[in-house]
Amino acid sequence: MRERPDWRATAERFGFRFHTIDGASYWDESACYAFTLQQVEDDIEAPTAELHAMALDLVADVVASEEAMQRLAIPEAYRDWIADSWRAASPHLYGRMDFSYDGRGPAKLLEFNYDTPTALYEAAFFQWIWLEQQIERGMLAEGTDQYNLIQENLIEAFAALARRISGPLHLSAVRDSAEDQGTIAYLDDCAQQVGLATRRIAIEDIGLAADGRYTDLDDRPIETLFKLYPLEFMFGEAFGKALPTSRCLLIEPPWKAILSNKGILPLLWEKHRDHPNLLPAFFDEGAPLPAGWVRKPLLSREGANIELRHASGAREQTDGPYRDGPFVRQQFHPLPQFDGRYALVGSWVVGDRASGIGMRDDNTPITRDSSHFVPHIIQ
């Protein structure tokens, strides 16, 4: 696939500031992934919708069970707050499932990213710009499509949120993360398109008033907060103890702490054993797995602290800050290889709707923060 000669300038013009990370291109349009419509509809979209429904059903089980909360290592001080957010139907915005899919057999769920999923802007917006420009320039045939309703559904989800809240929506991320700041800038734009008043604040600048409410830099109460910051990290912050009493509506909601926890994988397997889109998964102690397995911390991101054992006995491992666990083990299901690159399908759910995909690939079987984002087409 021929790159657009001006793609970097185009990325800068559209606010895609993290297209290159540490001197290496994160966005990669030297290739694209091609799907048939049947593959998209039958092998990705339909299983995504089904797995999402199964996951929500499981949340209902977990919030009713102290034992399940304990298995997920959810701190006791926050369990009632998490359960209450589920029973109150606190609104949620979006999430991403990661699949291994080779175009032939069933897509296999590797994990949920339902609390702080990134790669959103490039999936929802920039790969669509790439598609339109490649068609305009004759590099792709007229009528070439993409499985991508992400932005359309995000705007509808923000419209639904606008009917539920009063006051502004604050959006927050770590100040110095270009990727996270780019993501909330994109979400800010989507929210404003439906008339939501928005304000941005760095996570480091959130204050705590004497009455226990969160405040912004102008000492205004934060009533609704979209936070691109892991909930378990918030538990450890100075303001973390005030979360249950802060009267702040969080997005993603507290109940997403259950789905962002990799302990959901063995719980799903226990409830839906032999489902074609699930892999056998078990909590680490006494995991009855065959020779090939992947060991993951309950809480980890961007491929950190993953241990992979191939059926041959060969091992691969990544470093990171989550080495203390606890862990789950999942049967190893290799990512498909194309031209020496291991491809991962990120399937997006907005609200409760399967909405599109983003493709990332890496030169190792473990998808890390050094992976590339590659556009896709339906042909």
Check if the beta carbon of residue 178 is closer than 8 Å to that of residue 17.
yes
Residue 287 has pLDDT above 70, yes or no: no
Give CA–CA dist 312/300, Å, rounded.
Answer: 26
Residue 376 has pLDDT above 70, yes or no: yes
Reported as a single tens digit per residue, the pLDDT across 1-51 is: 889 999 999 999 999 999 998 888 999 999 999 999 999 999 999 999 999
Give residue 284's pLDDT.
84
Give CA–CA dist 173/116, Å, rounded.
Answer: 10
What are the residue ranges spanned by the domains of the chain? 7-261+336-378, 280-331
Give residue 33's pLDDT.
97
Reported as a single tens digit per residue, the pLDDT across 102-117 is: 999 899 999 999 999 9
Which distant-in-sequence residues (6+ apart) come within 8 Å of 50 by Cβ? Answer: 277
pTM over 0.85: yes
Give CA–CA dist 39/2, Å, rounded.
Answer: 25
Average pLDDT over residues 231-259: 93
Give CA–CA dist 149/353, Å, rounded.
Answer: 10
Query: Which class for 25: exposed (0-12), middle (13-18), buried (19 or more C-beta within 10 A)?
Result: middle
